[in-house]
């Protein structure tokens, strides 16, 4: 008898979902919201990278590696903290996008130039202490 009841229960259809209920809104005192603090050095580096790259693409939407490096160093970023991707492929073609990084403390300010546009983001430093994987100095 018990086996029959278990079999019937296991084979019975799942009940239909009930009517959609509105999502519960958390009360303001339910949990404190964390606010991220930005390291002033990282914010300054991000601002410098973004303004430098935007100024650079106005005159040259596809700068080469050394031009990009020189622009970032001229903006006050120490040369030892600058990493720049290659500007040409091994077959001699222009790359689709240039990447540059400025090491700022425990963060990497990463900038990308693609089709004359600039995108900047902040990422953590890699375990190697660099921003790029491989040799990009």
**pLDDT tens per residue across span 78-105:** 999 999 999 888 999 989 999 999 999 9
Query: Which residue has better confidence, 54 or 89?
Result: 54
- SS3 breakdown of the chain: % helix, strand, coil, rounded to 5? 30, 20, 45
- Strands, sheet with 117-124, edge to edge from the N-terminal-most edge strand: 82-84, 97-104, 107-114, 117-124
What's the mean per-residue pLDDT of the chain?
81
| Confidence check: pLDDT of 45 > 90 | yes
Query: Is 90 exceeded by the pLDDT of residue 32?
Result: no
pLDDT at 34: 53
What is the pLDDT averaged over residues 107-129?
95
Look up residue 96 and give its DSSP letter.
Answer: S
Quote the pTM value.
Answer: 0.69
For 55-81, the pLDDT digits (tens) are 999 999 999 999 999 999 999 999 999
Instruction: Report how far residue 17's alpha carbon sits from residue 19's, in angstroms, rounded to the nearest whole number.
Output: 7
């Amino acid at each position: 008898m018990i086996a029959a009841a278990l079999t019937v229960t296991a084979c019975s259809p799942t009940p239909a979902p009930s009517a959609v209920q509105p999502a519960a809104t958390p009360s303001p005192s339910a949990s404190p919201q964390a606010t991220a603090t930005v390291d002033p050095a990282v914010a300054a580096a991000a601002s410098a990278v973004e303004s430098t790259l935007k100024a650079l693409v106005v005159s040259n939407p596809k700068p080469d590696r050394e031009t990009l490096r020189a622009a970032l160093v001229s903006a006050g970023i120490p040369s030892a903290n600058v990493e720049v991707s290659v500007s040409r492929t091994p077959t001699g073609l222009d790359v689709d996008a240039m990447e540059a990084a400025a090491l700022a403390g425990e963060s990497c300010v990463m900038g990308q130039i693609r089709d004359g546009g600039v995108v900047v983001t902040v990422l953590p430093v890699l375990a190697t202490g660099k921003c790029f994987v491989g040799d990009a100095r």
